């Protein structure tokens, strides 16, 4: 194995484990089953420790070992999970993350700064470890085991479970303490009897001090089910063999267990008698009749004896079954490889469009049918490839659990986070770029939006504030809402500040949406004091600029005293979309197909910028006027009815040219300032078509077409 690749895998998996550990810590207070949450935290810490040991990262092992010991105390019920402990464990997770970052940078040994940063955390962790660990096998086993119950002479049907444990030789090397699992059994019931098997220990000259040679036979009284008992050994399942017999098991089942174990049958039987799982009378009777019994043959062996199948077929089937069982459900693929695949599919779509155009011009039915089949297959490949890049937004949302936890304590506020729509999927590129804008919106809502507890109580609100994150699909876009139940935006204060800075003219009437939108102006702030989080007049303009760069939009709805909701609307993907081609004179534009509701014929009414569409008023946007295209108007024109953010509008165009798979190409820095255009694409003829930004068009229409026309002269509209 390539050690560099293995180390990179360790880094990636460690970060994933730290994320799951953080998520479990933040949700443990509200968890219905705290034991499962604690197990998840312990599992993450233990896996990181064991994996670090494989690479000789002793400083990671040393720190994580102390953390794991505290978590083991939590599992045993000796350490109570509390808010200070959760905060400490979160800080420990951050420190491990810092160590992982250093390893990625090539620092495989502990440095002075990392050691100094970890020492205060270790000191705090050790404060929770009130008693030193007990050393030695027999003292620990003796302290665990109660006097063995004496089984009745007539039956082996005791009320105890029987657990047979055989630990693998590498369990200690993987950072696992076998006795900790036996101690943990006490949380589920009472150990009635226990026998230790050192049979696997070799001669002293052959003994490896780092290997484990232990086995145990345990009589266990518990009301738990088999799954719960098996879960005790979940973390060591790959390093041991566990066999469990339920209460009231028959003698034949015990004898079958003895037959499966590697030790001598008579000696094992004596151990089962001593620990109370089997009576001496039943053991003697079973051993005497064992020679007269034959084991049940495997079905494969039976089929071979009957001549139904060949032995090689049975062996292949068994191997295949094991292979399928061990096969992982998913594989890890580099993001760069996915990006390369999407780019190649984009070029394939452009080449396919060119081929289809040539086929239509040649008027060859066979060629047209072939290109049609090819286009359908390319579309399926495109959809499958895009699906590979789709990820759930829940991973991004989960980051804010920690943000809310830390920032609330920094501000001295009690704030809870409610998350919904975590399963909503969008392109990984969008997910990567939306994190920072959402981070600012969340922190801003906590600092500016949600009031302190005393103010909330005085206003008749709960002392604890609530922040909500929600995501859902709408019209081919993803909508993300950041809501709070705070004091809301103060309309009059925003308006006064805008007048003071000259952002609006005196006497001009603005809607609430327009006034609230002023907070996205550069340097705009109504904060009465500067804090570590906000109040310096920076951030909200950057939020809007970053969202706009993703071909998205942001809006605000607020009610004073009730709260604020910031709505971010983003495209699902930044690579390939289904488009609808429309013509304006000799220029071609692309309208995103998922925003189109229908196309109707345009019947102009002089002086009207709207039409009656089946009894509803439909506002019109004449793209000729919007982009200042001055040429003869054709006799027949059409309206493309589009919907965005719950509103409808009609785009007046010269011609409808049909659907087109659109590969989005950026316009470049020269045209990055333009509005109403979200990108470009290459047609089958090799010409460039501009992709319309429908939300921006509809927003500009509310302020008048003239503002669009002023920038139209900069657009490369000529065919």
Encoding tokens for residue 275? 């620990």
Could you tell me if 566 and 580 lie in one domain?
Answer: no
pLDDT of residue 305: 60
DSSP-assigned letter for residue 381:
H
Report the C-alpha gap between 299 and 248 in whole angstroms. Answer: 28
**Quick check: is 256 in a domain?**
yes
Could you tell me if 401 and 537 lie in one domain?
Answer: yes
Could you tell me if 73 and 186 lie in one domain?
Answer: no
Examine the pLDDT at 483 and tell me if it is beyond 90: yes
Which residue has better confidence, 653 or 182? 653
The domain boundary, picked from 92, 107, 127, lies at: 127
Full strand arrangement of the beta sheet holding 465-474: 415-420, 465-474, 477-484, 563-571, 553-559
**Quick check: is 415 in a domain?**
yes
Report the C-alpha gap between 536 and 334 in whole angstroms. Answer: 40
User: Which of 153-157, 170-174, 549-553, 564-568 has the highest average model confidence (pLDDT)?
Assistant: 564-568
Domain that holds residue 64: 3-127
Could you tell me if 141 and 110 lie in one domain?
Answer: no
Range of weakest confidence among 121-130, 585-594, 667-676, 705-714? 705-714
CA torsion angle 189 193 194 195 (round to 10): -160
**Quick check: is 161 in a domain?**
yes
Q: Cβ contacts of residue 365 below 8 Å, gap of 6+?
A: none
SS (H, E, C) 179-236: HHHHHHHHHCEEEEEEEEECCCCCCHHHCCCCCCCCEEEEEEEECCCHHHHHHHCHHH
Examine the pLDDT at 538 and tell me if it is beyond 60: no
Q: Domain containing 661 — which CATH number? A: 2.30.30.40
465-476 burial code (b ≥16 CB/10 A, e <16): bbbbbbbeeebb
Examine the pLDDT at 148 and tell me if it is beyond 80: no
Per-residue confidence band for 641, with pLDDT thresholds at 50, 70 and 90: very high
**Quick check: is 310 in a domain?**
no
Encoding tokens for residue 126? 């050790």
Look at residues 420, 349, 354 and name the one whose alpha carbon lies nearest to residue 385.
Answer: 349
Could you tell me if 234 and 90 lie in one domain?
Answer: no
Look at residues 612, 587, 591 and name the one whose alpha carbon lies nearest to residue 600.
Answer: 612
Q: Domain containing 142 — which CATH number? A: 3.30.70.240
pLDDT of residue 399: 82
Could you tell me if 402 and 383 lie in one domain?
Answer: no
pLDDT of residue 693: 83
**Quick check: is 325 in a domain?**
no
Share of the chain above pLDDT 90, in %: 6
**Quick check: is 240 in a domain?**
yes
Could you tell me if 165 and 178 lie in one domain?
Answer: yes
Q: Domain containing 64 — which CATH number? A: 1.20.120.160
Per-residue confidence band for 470, with pLDDT thresholds at 50, 70 and 90: very high
The domain boundary, picked from 83, 102, 127, lies at: 127
Examine the pLDDT at 469 and tell me if it is beyond 90: yes
Could you tell me if 598 and 665 lie in one domain?
Answer: yes
Could you tell me if 111 and 141 lie in one domain?
Answer: no
Examine the pLDDT at 191 and tell me if it is beyond 80: yes
Examine the pLDDT at 185 and tell me if it is beyond 70: yes
pLDDT of residue 640: 92
The domain boundary, picked from 376, 391, 406, lies at: 391
Per-residue confidence band for 317, with pLDDT thresholds at 50, 70 and 90: low
Per-residue pLDDT tens over the stretch 207-266: 888 888 888 888 888 888 888 888 888 777 777 888 888 887 777 777 777 777 877 776
Q: Cβ contacts of residue 128 below 8 Å, gap of 6+?
A: 70, 73, 79, 85
Could you tell me if 660 and 527 lie in one domain?
Answer: no
**Quick check: is 349 in a domain?**
yes
DSSP-assigned letter for residue 560:
T
Encoding tokens for residue 669? 């820095």
**Quick check: is 299 in a domain?**
no
Does this model's pTM top 0.75? My answer is: no
- Mean confidence (pLDDT) of the chain: 78
- Burial class from Cβ neighbours inside 10 Å (0-12, 13-18, 19+) for residue 570 reads buried
pLDDT of residue 467: 92
Could you tell me if 592 and 528 lie in one domain?
Answer: no
Report the C-alpha gap between 54 and 438 in whole angstroms. Answer: 38
Could you tell me if 278 and 201 lie in one domain?
Answer: yes
CA torsion angle 525 479 22 406 (round to 10): 20
Instruction: State the total domains in the chain.
Output: 5
pLDDT of residue 433: 83
Look at residues 234, 328, 242 and name the one whose alpha carbon lies nearest to residue 40.
Answer: 234
């Amino acid at each position: 194995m390539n050690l560099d690749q293995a180390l990179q895998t360790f880094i990636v998996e460690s970060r994933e484990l730290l994320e799951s550990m953080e998520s479990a810590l933040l949700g443990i207070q509200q968890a219905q089953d705290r034991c499962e949450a604690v197990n998840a935290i312990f599992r993450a810490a233990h896996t990181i420790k064991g994996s670090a040991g494989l690479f000789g990262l002793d400083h990671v092992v040393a720190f994580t070992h102390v953390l794991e010991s505290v978590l083991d105390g939590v599992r045993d019920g000796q350490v109570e999970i509390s808010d200070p402990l959760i905060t400490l464990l979160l800080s420990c997770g951050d420190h491990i993350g810092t160590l992982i970052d250093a390893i990625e940078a090539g620092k495989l040994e502990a440095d002075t700064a990392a050691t100094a940063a970890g020492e205060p955390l270790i000191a705090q962790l050790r404060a929770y470890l009130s008693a030193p660990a007990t050393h030695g096998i027999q003292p620990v086993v003796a302290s665990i085991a109660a006097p063995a119950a004496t089984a009745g002479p007539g039956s082996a049907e005791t009320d105890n479970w029987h657990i047979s444990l055989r630990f693998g030789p590498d369990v200690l090397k993987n950072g696992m303490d076998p006795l900790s699992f036996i101690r943990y059994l006490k949380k589920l019931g009472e150990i009635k009897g226990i026998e230790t098997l050192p049979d696997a220990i070799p001669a002293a000259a052959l003994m490896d001090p780092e290997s484990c040679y232990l086995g145990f036979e345990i009589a266990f009284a518990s009301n738990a089910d088999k799954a719960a008992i098996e879960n005790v050994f979940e973390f060591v399942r790959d390093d041991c063999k566990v066999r469990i017999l339920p209460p009231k098991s028959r003698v034949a089942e015990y004898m079958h267990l003895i037959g499966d174990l590697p030790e001598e049958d008579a000696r094992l039987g004596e151990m089962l008698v001593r620990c109370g799982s089997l009576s001496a009378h039943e053991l003697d009777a079973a051993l005497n009749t064992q020679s007269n019994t034959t084991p049940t043959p495997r079905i494969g062996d039976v089929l071979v004896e009957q001549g139904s199948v060949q032995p090689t077929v049975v062996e292949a089937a068994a191997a295949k079954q094991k292979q399928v069982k061990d096969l992982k459900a998913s594989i890890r693929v580099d993001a760069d490889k996915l990006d390369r695949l999407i780019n190649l599919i984009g070029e394939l779509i452009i080449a396919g469009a060119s081929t289809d155009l040539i086929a239509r011009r040649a008027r060859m039915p066979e060629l047209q049918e072939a290109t049609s089949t090819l286009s359908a297959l390319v579309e399926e490949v495109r959809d499958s490839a895009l699906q590979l890049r789709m990820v759930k937004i829940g991973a991004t949302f989960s980051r804010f659990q920690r943000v809310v936890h830390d920032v609330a304590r920094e501000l001295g506020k009690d704030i809870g986070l409610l998350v919904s729509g975590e399963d909503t999927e969008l392109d990984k590129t969008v997910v990567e770029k939306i994190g920072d804008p959402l981070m600012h919106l969340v922190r801003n809502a906590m600092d500016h939006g949600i009031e302190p507890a005393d103010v909330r109580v005085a206003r008749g609100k709960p002392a604890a504030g609530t922040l909500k994150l929600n995501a859902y699909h709408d019209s081919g876009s993803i909508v993300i809402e950041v809501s709070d139940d705070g004091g809301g935006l103060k309309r009059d204060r925003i308006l006064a500040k805008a007048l003071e800075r000259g952002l609006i003219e005196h006497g001009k009437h603005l809607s609430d949406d327009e006034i609230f939108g002023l907070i996205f102006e550069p340097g705009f702030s109504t904060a009465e004091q500067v804090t570590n989080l906000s109040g310096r007049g920076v951030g909200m303009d950057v939020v809007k600029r970053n969202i706009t760069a993703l071909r998205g939009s942001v809006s605000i709805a607020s009610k004073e005293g009730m709260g604020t909701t910031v709505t971010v609307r983003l495209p699902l993907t930044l690579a390939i979309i289904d488009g609808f081609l429309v013509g304006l004179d000799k220029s071609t534009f692309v309208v995103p197909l998922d925003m189109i509701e229908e196309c109707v014929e345009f019947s102009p009414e002089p002086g009207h910028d709207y039409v009656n569409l089946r009894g509803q008023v439909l506002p019109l946007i004449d793209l000729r006027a919007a982009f200042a295209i001055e040429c003869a108007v054709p006799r027949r024109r059409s309206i493309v009815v589009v919907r965005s953010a719950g509103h409808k509008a009609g785009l007046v165009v010269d011609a409808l040219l049909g659907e087109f798979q659109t590969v989005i190409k950026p316009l470049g820095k020269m045209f990055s300032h333009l509005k109403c255009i979200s990108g470009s694409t290459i047609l089958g003829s090799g010409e460039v078509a501009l992709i319309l930004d429908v939300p921006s068009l509809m927003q500009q229409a509310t302020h008048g077409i003239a503002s669009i026309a002023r920038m139209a002269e900069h657009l490369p509209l000529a065919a």
